[in-house]
Amino acid sequence: MKLLKKWFLIKLCMLLAMPFNVLAQALPVAQPDRVSRSISGVLQDSMRTRGFAANDPRFGNTLARISPQLASVAGGAAAVTVGTVTAPGWASVALAVGIGAVITYAVNLGIDSLVRWLFRSDGKIDESGESLTIQTSTAMTIGGVYWKVSFHSGNINIELAAGDGEAIARQGYFEYLTQTNQNTSSTPNCSPSANQVSCGVIFALKQASGAPTSCPAGSMFKNGMCGAYTFVSPAAVPQKTALTPQQATTDIPAADLEKKLNPAVIAALVNKAWQQAAAQPGYDGLPYPQSKPITATETATWTAQNPDYAPTVRDFTAPNPVTTGSPQPWALPQNPTASTTTPATTPNANTTNPAATNPQENLGADPAIGAPTLEQTPTAQMILQPILDLLPDLKNFSPTMATGTCPRPTMNLFHQTQTFEAHCTILDNNRDAIHAAMVVAFTLSALLIILSA
């Protein structure tokens, strides 16, 4: 036994003294230049789709004029500290450039991310996440409106029904995790709409009628019977208001940092940067398309075509300092997908005034051109005269008045001549009434003929 103890102690000392090769796991590194690349790529694609050729001198000038505008905004943007680096980030620049005027709602910072930001006009950020409570207060009545989850794939069979769409969608996702032996404590990011709720791979669809049975509020229909919900409530980001960019950045969950940045954020940043650059004196780029701004769809198209350069939430929120390798961190690259980016900082000359190089014609102090003359303003009579001159032959037309007499037919009857004139007496006695009735009748007939023409 003593020998065994000695051997164990010697072995332990050898293990403690023996060097070990420890492999450190590299932390994800932010690449703010991805934001610059995506802004440049989306901007160039948008200019081309709006009918501007790349060889138009104003095409390159637009990039060159937006770059210093972004740098100017960054100079007054709030700095963000991450680790040992302190500098403005694209998030604080977006806040300073005023994208809150474009995105007026709390937007998910990343695609399918939990945290939402509202970019306020006072330089602060309101932060929110998913609701802690999911509505389960709608009962389901047999034959009536209800929500349905139906998912069948391999050995996975999920059939659920209930009166609340998001609740049954989350329950379906919980069932999916259970049947695939996954961690059931993870909660999905659900996207509800009027007739559909998507939670991960599960979709709940609203049915206008045909509920299979009646279930009270707070329950669902599963396996032929009503029962309570069992899904895990979402771990929500707490609601906070008036955060500084530093505070809002610190609150972002680690799981959200590596998610792709929401295309709506990039689209809003491009629109505001272009709009502000176009308003600067001496701007010689393409005019900002006020009636057709850049959309999130255009941004999503570019990032889908260039996934390696699609920015993440970490790229958007990390500091973007001036370094030896990046002396102009806010400049937009001419070629957004090149391995080495060249900033577009030199605008083309004489692009807004084609006659800038031509000599100016000097007309002298008094060129004797004279004041311009205006034609006489037409009067109402002059405007109506062409209409009044139509069909001149009808001007002197006057209808002739007929002079008729009432017919009095006669007949020989019983060797006597009988004259029928009682109707004439009736007509003469009612002449005014009959005249008025005929005037109304012919007037209405004429009106109907004119209106039907």
* pLDDT, tens digit, 9 for 90 and up, residues 141-175: 999 999 999 999 888 999 999 999 999 999 999 99
**Buried b or exposed e, range 412-443, using 16+ CB within 10 angstroms:** eeeeeeeeeeeeeeeeeeeeeeeeeeeeeeee
Around Cβ 83, how many Cβ atoms within 10 Å? 9
Domain segments of the chain as ranges: 33-129+238-317, 146-228
pLDDT band at residue 22, thresholds of 50, 70 and 90?
very low
**From residue 14, how far is each of 18, 62, 266 by CA, in Å?**
6, 68, 57
Q: How confident is the model at residue 11 (pLDDT cuts 50, 70, 90)?
A: low
At residue 108, the pLDDT reads 84
Cα 347 to the center of its chain, rounded Å? 32
Residues forming beta bridges with residue 227, ordered by sequence position: 220
As beta bridge partners, residue 117 has: 107, 127
Residues, the chain, total?
A: 453
pLDDT, one tens digit per residue, over 195-231 is 899 888 899 999 999 999 999 888 899 998 998 888 8
The pair of structure tokens assigned to 121 is 């006009």
Tens of pLDDT, residues 379-432 = 888 888 888 787 777 677 676 666 678 888 888 877 788 888 888 888 888 888
Residue of 44, 68, 123, 64 lying closest to 91 (CA atoms):
123
Torsion angle, alpha carbons of 341, 344, 345, 348, to 10: 150
Residue 299 pLDDT exceeds 60: yes
pLDDT tens for 310-334 read 999 999 999 999 888 888 899 898 8
Residue 235 has pLDDT above 70, yes or no: no
Mean pLDDT, the chain, as a whole number?
Answer: 84
Measured distance CA(266)–CA(241) in Å, rounded: 23
- The residue-averaged pLDDT of 113-136 equals 84
| Model pTM score | 0.56
Cα→Cα distances 4→8, 10, 11, 14, 94, Å? 6, 10, 11, 15, 69
- Contacts of residue 199, Cβ cutoff 8 Å, sequence gap at least 6: 166, 169, 170, 172, 173, 188, 189, 190, 191
